[in-house]
Amino acid sequence: MRIRFSAAVVAAAQVLIVGTAQAQIREVAVTGGRVSGAVANGIAAFKGIPFAAPPLGALRWKAPQPVKEWTGVKAASSFAPGCIQDPTLAKLFGAPDVVSEDCLYLNVWTPAASPSERLPVMVWIYGGAFTSGMTSIPAYDGVPLAEKGVVLVSLSYRLGVFGFLAHPDLSKESGKGSGNYGLQDQIAALRWVKENITRFGGDLNRVTIFGESAGGISVSMLAASPAAKKLFHRAISESGGSFGPARTANEGGTTVPSLKVAETTGQAFLTRQGVVDITAARALSVEKMKAAPGGGLQGQFWPVFDGDVLPKGQYELYQAKRFNDTPILIGTNSDEGITFVPGATQPAAFEAAIRAGYGAKAETILAAYPHGTVAEASQSSRNIFRDATFAWHTWAWALLQSKHGDGKAYVYYFDHRTPQSPNGAGHAAEIPYVFRTLGRFSGPAGLVAPPRPEDHAMSDLMSSYFVNFAKTGDPNGPGLPPWPAFTESSQTAMHFDAKPGARPAPNMTQIKAMDDYFAWRREEAKGTK
């Protein structure tokens, strides 16, 4: 018997099929209660999900505590306030200037039609020198990357004095050192991801952490922290890494203080606040703390070698094979220093600065960085900042991973030039290319021009590599220039420039000089223990 379907029945069936295919995850039960998101163009966005209790009052300067449960369905439709900071920089990048101590929230964007899809997960950690940064910056919008088949998460963490104050009383209180509350926030958010991400269609066995600047430094710290073990499976760092020894004074290229140094800084801060103990400090208003000199808004506070979250120098941990071994994709930009050292430098001033910061290896550094003229000294000032702060750490990380780990290391060098940045790519310039948010990144010159066709092509290339890496641990894929892994014998980087391709790692004369310097600093540090 022949069955005849009317046009209306066929049309209704087609609507049903299409509707099913486009079904989205709109409401999810997570730790603490239920949340509802907003769906647009096939992507469900959940913003402002709490992953820990508000760190207020007695919880100020404590490890993040379990999230408080709520009743009903929480509308996760808008970003939570940023953590306490001077919002000037965030506003420069287009974020709202709303900040609060109650700031431990994260956001999820998912293209999954159901929780069973098991898509790779990418967890973004913002930069900002550990004193600023927000998930609400438009360039961090998760939609464009989610459209490429990943679940995108962005997390917040405490900043400045609120995130990184060390003090003897706090160390005694915890029994595990102090000063790394911002890093503990990141770890708590990753635990939340492990417990909840499958409900958003994510694969809890394919979690990639990625970040830029302080976010990239955070990624490297998480890669070395025993507290982050088994919370992620791949790591991407953009202009990050932290492989120098502890900072005890103003040594060139060192940023992470020892616990003793950090506690001394914390004691001095509380003295300036006019309080004698942590109980009194926890009662201080945010306004009073922000108004005080050194209120954590000028880069005075930083992650600490506390003996717990960061047991010791990462270089030594990698040599001892005491790290979280995963594939890594890491890199730097060609003109990072222009963002931090924009003016002219006189040759004599350049020499004086190097001799003051680089000790017995000053002559080695001076020989590697031309400085006979103002033009040379100015460029070398920028390049030394790039190499001492970002590039050497990236190179050392890749070398240590390739020598001591099973996970492969993939290194890049971002040198994409625009009419606004003809001499190279400045710090953070790669972010909108990775996120596919070109045209939404306001900020310093070099980042704000309308995107050209070649910019869109670079964005497609970079985002494809990054998403491939999140999916498989290998950035390579059909139609992409081959990207070989970095090894000790073949130190290759993917150059993202006018002719993208794998070539020898750049600036090796300077990197080798910097490596000689950091080796000396490590030996010097041994003598102070």
- Catalytic residue numbers read 213, 336, 427
Q: Which residues pair with 481 in a beta bridge?
A: none
Query: What is the enclosing helix (H) or strand (E) of 108?
Result: strand 105-110
Q: How remote is the C-alpha of 184 from its chain's centroid?
A: 14
Radius of gyration of the chain (CA): 24
User: Using H for helix, E for strand and C for coil, what is the string for 472-495?
Assistant: HCCCCCCCCCCCCCECCCCCEEEE
Q: What is the Cα–Cα distance from 326 to 306, expressed in whole angstroms? A: 24
User: Residue type for 480, please?
Assistant: L
**Are 282 and 58 a contacting pair, CB within 8 Å?**
yes
- Burial label for 282, CB within 10 Å (0-12, 13-18, 19+), is middle
Tokens of residue 182, six digits: 């911002």
Q: Which of 216, 192, 193 lies closest to 205, judged by CA? A: 193
Question: Residue 208: enclosing H or E segment and its boundaries?
Answer: strand 202-212
DSSP sequence for 235-263: EEEES----S--BSSS-TT--PBBHHHHH
Question: Cβ distance 429 to 414 under 8 Å?
Answer: yes
